[in-house]
A and B are shown apart, each in its own frame.
Chain A
């Protein structure tokens, strides 16, 4: 994980303009007035009490909005009915899970009672495999190119980073606009003799589009981390290799890739964690369609719990717990890799 940087590398503090200090006047006043009751509190509880006071708001919000939901999720998944509040729900044991796993053939989603869930699982699986592998490949190539001696490197780095900042809704709309019947893609293919086609109504293409668009939207982030990793590789290693007349391909396989491996692993796991939860862009781009060809797990949970009538909070909770288990495994993997890297750094 991150190490604090020496002061010279920190981003410069924002300049204190006059209007800023004017703007901060009332804030300072409020914070100054808050000192009187807090001084009293400090007298009563001592410095240790103040530590608790500083920690409390953050931990309280965590407890209410993250930890408590985790517990309640378990309760939801073992109760049934369409009621939202827990006291109106009846205990059903493992019925929700049984319903999910009720299949005659596990390789065929259509043979399951909850065929939508298994379709979503299958789609998510293929999405994760394709999106992560292609995106890491593209990010790695981009990072390698940006690591060359380049005029205006920070500009080019920014170019690839731009879509990362766009909201998923905007990303979805941009690409829906390009892929529609009178869109940019059709008008570029038209002179080549292709008739206009509604791309997003084609099951295969819609899936490919979802993968491509999400690579477009997120690759800049991973490129950035990989580039930071590449720049941390000592230059003298390359100089020595060059002096020995090593071929560039050999330099890549023997120096760059092994030394980048820790970063690469972290990036892969991060990308896996994000890909499993894919939702926003896809929801706007295809809405899960055509049919169920781009229905993914998060959308299944959202639709089961909030859209379909009657709402089935129990089933949605059970599905989200199953997804959570996958994510926990992935996160532990990431922490394990990070720890191993840290230990290596110490040696």
Chain B
């Protein structure tokens, strides 16, 4: 144990703890709690029943009052620890409550009714995960539809992004032609034009080509990402031109050079772009909110925001849907976070 502590508290150079070390660890541990805590709290909450959610102060784990079936009573009865008049405590089941008096029975001997003041009883609680929060929305709210729409938009947009961006990056990195710099400049300039600036005209274009209320209307405007072209072009510039010349010598067509040589060699950069694109498209909100106005077309993000904006928020379902919406990005975070962080640190682009 002492060696473990020595290991954890060791410092380079064998110096004693400096106040900055304490600040460092307070900051890091605090960060751990602040960054993960909210999502963890939400996930635990999503397993609570509506009654459990209404409790205050709330518990971390989802507790419910234990119930038993008692002979002679149709419905299962809640169990309580009741303090009796003689001072002893017994586990009793509540039959009904009248005012401040609760009528209880002993589950083993249900004949006799015992009257207990409600202040003298405490519910017997057990941990129980309300998985119906997850299964019910699938049947009640077209939740499966939203999930499918989100998956469809994300996968399709990412595939098109990869193809379209890599073709453009190939042209911009491996061909000499007039207007190449102008094209590159136009692409970089579009970084300046965020969605919120062109909301109205983009909507009118989408409507006039008949893509309003269509998932393609969500997908198409997003696929030609300037960031993607930029990342891929930078990577392709490092591929030696001799490879291409050799392929041309062997009578390979330009298309074959692109597909057989450039794309496989660009795989690492393509992987980074694919991860980025999946996260972007999965998280997109404002544009789908505008393009999709029919319920059966909503993506998860739009569906979630619409349901959570209703007057009577059904929090137990909303929380479960939020957790499902988080799953893909949490998976990306666990397994692919390294690619994203190196991608950002390397290019400074998000």
Partners in one complex: yes
Known contacts A11-B268, A331-B192, A76 near B170 by CB under 8 Å = no
B262-303 interface code vs A (CB 8 A; 1 in, 0 out): 000001100110000001001101100010000000000100
Interface centre among A47, A160, A184 (most CB of B within 10 A): A184
Segment at the A interface, from B81-89, B131-139, B193-201: B193-201
Segment at the B interface, from A102-110, A125-133, A278-286: A278-286
Say yes or no for B12: interface residue by CB 8 A criterion. Answer: yes
A177 x B319 contact (CB < 8 A)? yes
Cβ contact of B38, chosen from A178, A181, A283, A320, cutoff 8 A: A178
The minimal Cβ–Cβ distance linking B79 to chain A, given in whole angstroms, is: 24
Cβ–Cβ < 8 Å partners of A54 in chain B: 167-168, 170-171, 175, 254, 258
B333-347 interface code vs A (CB 8 A; 1 in, 0 out): 100011111111111
B1-45 interface code vs A (CB 8 A; 1 in, 0 out): 000000010001000000010011001100110111011011001
Cβ–Cβ < 8 Å partners of A205 in chain B: none
Known contacts A142-B27, A184-B58, A221-B350, A177 near B315 by CB under 8 Å = yes
B348 x A225 contact (CB < 8 A)? yes
Interface centre among A11, A48, A84, A145 (most CB of B within 10 A): A11
A261-287 CB contacts (< 8 Å) to partner B: 266, 270, 273, 277, 279-280, 283-284, 287
Cβ–Cβ < 8 Å partners of A71 in chain B: 201
User: Which interface class (under 10, 10 to 19, 20 to 34, 35 or more) fits A?
Assistant: 35 or more
The minimal Cβ–Cβ distance linking A15 to chain B, given in whole angstroms, is: 11
B253 x A51 contact (CB < 8 A)? no
Say yes or no for B101: interface residue by CB 8 A criterion. Answer: no
B36 x A162 contact (CB < 8 A)? yes
Assembly CA distance A316 to B203 (angstroms): 12
B342 x A11 contact (CB < 8 A)? yes
Known contacts A11-B271, A65-B221, A161 near B337 by CB under 8 Å = yes
Cβ–Cβ < 8 Å partners of B235 in chain A: 4
A85 x B208 contact (CB < 8 A)? yes
Known contacts A51-B175, A70-B198, A158 near B268 by CB under 8 Å = no
Closest to B207 in A: A84
Binding site for B on A (CB under 8 A): 1-5, 7, 10-14, 31, 34-35, 38-39, 42, 47-48, 50-52, 54-55, 57-59, 61-62, 64-73, 76, 84-86, 141-142, 145, 148-151, 154, 156-163, 165-170, 172-178, 181-184, 186-187, 190-191, 196, 216, 220-221, 224-225, 227-228, 248, 266, 270, 273, 277, 279-280, 283-284, 287, 297-298, 301-302, 305-306, 313, 316-317, 320-321, 323-324, 327-328, 331
The minimal Cβ–Cβ distance linking A173 to chain B, given in whole angstroms, is: 5
Say yes or no for B113: interface residue by CB 8 A criterion. Answer: no
Closest to A50 in B: B254
Known contacts A35-B256, A331-B192, A55 near B167 by CB under 8 Å = yes
Cβ contact of B322, chosen from A38, A170, A227, cutoff 8 A: A170
A76 x B322 contact (CB < 8 A)? no
Closest to A298 in B: B196
B168 x A1 contact (CB < 8 A)? no
The minimal Cβ–Cβ distance linking B281 to chain A, given in whole angstroms, is: 10
Besides the contacts A154-B338, A167-B282, A175-B38, what 4 more A-B pairs have beta carbons closer than 8 Å? A2-B231, A58-B224, A156-B31, A163-B35
User: Which interface class (under 10, 10 to 19, 20 to 34, 35 or more) fits B?
Assistant: 35 or more
Cβ contact of B224, chosen from A61, A85, A172, A224, cutoff 8 A: A61
Cβ contact of B344, chosen from A70, A149, A150, A225, cutoff 8 A: A225
The minimal Cβ–Cβ distance linking A62 to chain B, given in whole angstroms, is: 5
Known contacts A182-B54, A327-B192, A73 near B198 by CB under 8 Å = yes
Assembly CA distance A166 to B27 (angstroms): 22
Cβ–Cβ < 8 Å partners of B172 in chain A: 55
